[in-house]
Amino acid sequence: MIFTSSGAGYHSESKAKEYKHVCKRACQRAVHRLRAGGMALEAVTAALIELEDSPFTNAGTGSNLNLSGEIECDASIMDGKSLNYGAVGALSGIKNPVLVARRLLSETQKGKLSAGRIPPCFLVGKGAEQWAISHGIPACPTEKMTTKFSLSGYKRNKRKMELAEQVETKRKRQSCEHENNSACLDTVGAVVVDREGNVAAAVSSGGLAMKHPGRVGQAAHYGCGCWAENARNISLYSTAVSTSGIKNTGVILVWHYCSPFLAGEDCVLGGVIVLRCCTCGEAQRSEDIQALLVEFLWSHTTESMCVGYMSAQDSKARTRISRLPPGAVAGQSLAIEGGVCRLGTVSD
């Protein structure tokens, strides 16, 4: 099963069809891999590539531009079976940052490098770009990843910053920052469980509009952007999480709405998709059939969040734009929904 999000933020009604379509395409691409026998890690990578390639998301193509008018992306991926992780931060010149994160994860699984060196699992900036190219991932200049929407947003934000600097008041500057960030979309993500019960999670983000060059957001950090862990002796459940969001002073990926780390924030805007699964009790008595009970939920404090989900047994993906109820205030209210499904798979 695949569960995707094109980001928490604001999704206009005029572009609702496009937002839903990208989640649908991401689900279909991942399920195609699952039906072909692919593992969770392959499927979640396929989903993220589709999300990054869409000009309607803030990841890969169409990402926010930084203060210098360049695209710098963050991405991370985690394998629930091995608990291995790969990530990139402030990466320019690569169309699909998740591919670099995925390759970093794969390289760490091969063991030590020559002379006993430890392979990297997290690279940033120019070093990440050079490593990606040296490992066969093609370069892509910023101008080919910039869209009319991201460029117009950059010009609009630049004018607002210039105005704020002329006013030279702290209150005005904070108001401008909140206006810039509350209307945009943030980190895209996906969580997957495969036919063997393995889970994986991934995220990708263009980061804040007008961020300082070199800034690495939480999407790239271990345990912040995503998490995936197969069932262990201490837990019967496999869990995968992907997070998204912003606050009025920067990107933040919300694990828990009431976190003490956010106690001092007046306006916390974030979203999360969660997948949890376990083997059904009656299936444990069968030698040939495994049945997975999958619980999934999405939650957000932003005005809206677009999600999609699909199992290998479904004929089509289900997508929707979840919105806060009428009268609710973004950053001060919480929407939460979810569902349960049972997946039957033949054991090897």
pLDDT tens for residues 140-184? Answer: 999 999 999 999 999 999 999 888 888 765 554 444 344 444 445
8 Å CB contact between 272 and 227: no
Q: How far apart are the first and last CA of the chain?
A: 18
Give a yes or no: residue 335 inside a domain.
Answer: yes
The dihedrals phi and psi of 262, each to the nearest 5 degrees, come to -105, 10
Q: Which two tokens stand for residue 147?
A: 């869209």
Closest C-alpha to 259, from 214, 234, 224, 284: 224
Q: What is the pLDDT of residue 346?
A: 41
Q: What is the pLDDT of residue 319?
A: 98
d(CA 264, CA 252): 13
Question: Any idea what the Cα angle at residue 22 is, between residues 13 and 217, rounded to 5°?
Answer: 95
Rg (CA), the chain: 20
Residue 96 has pLDDT above 70, yes or no: yes
Give a yes or no: residue 139 inside a domain.
Answer: yes
Give a yes or no: residue 150 inside a domain.
Answer: no
Give a yes or no: residue 154 inside a domain.
Answer: no
Residue 255 has pLDDT above 80, yes or no: no
Q: What is the pLDDT of residue 234?
A: 67
Residue 104 identity: L
d(CA 202, CA 78): 6
Residue 284 has pLDDT above 70, yes or no: no
Q: What is the per-residue pLDDT across 205-235, written as a single tens digit (0 to 9) for each?
A: 999 999 999 999 989 999 999 999 999 876 7
Give a yes or no: residue 314 inside a domain.
Answer: yes
d(CA 52, CA 204): 7
Question: What's the domain range around 73?
Answer: 2-144+181-344
d(CA 50, CA 56): 11
Give a yes or no: residue 161 inside a domain.
Answer: no
How many domains does the chain contain in total? 1
Residue 187: active-site member:
yes
Give a yes or no: residue 162 inside a domain.
Answer: no
Biggest CA pair distance of the chain = 72
Q: Which of 187, 239, 243, 319 is catalytic?
A: 187
Give a yes or no: residue 163 inside a domain.
Answer: no
8 Å CB contact between 85 and 222: yes
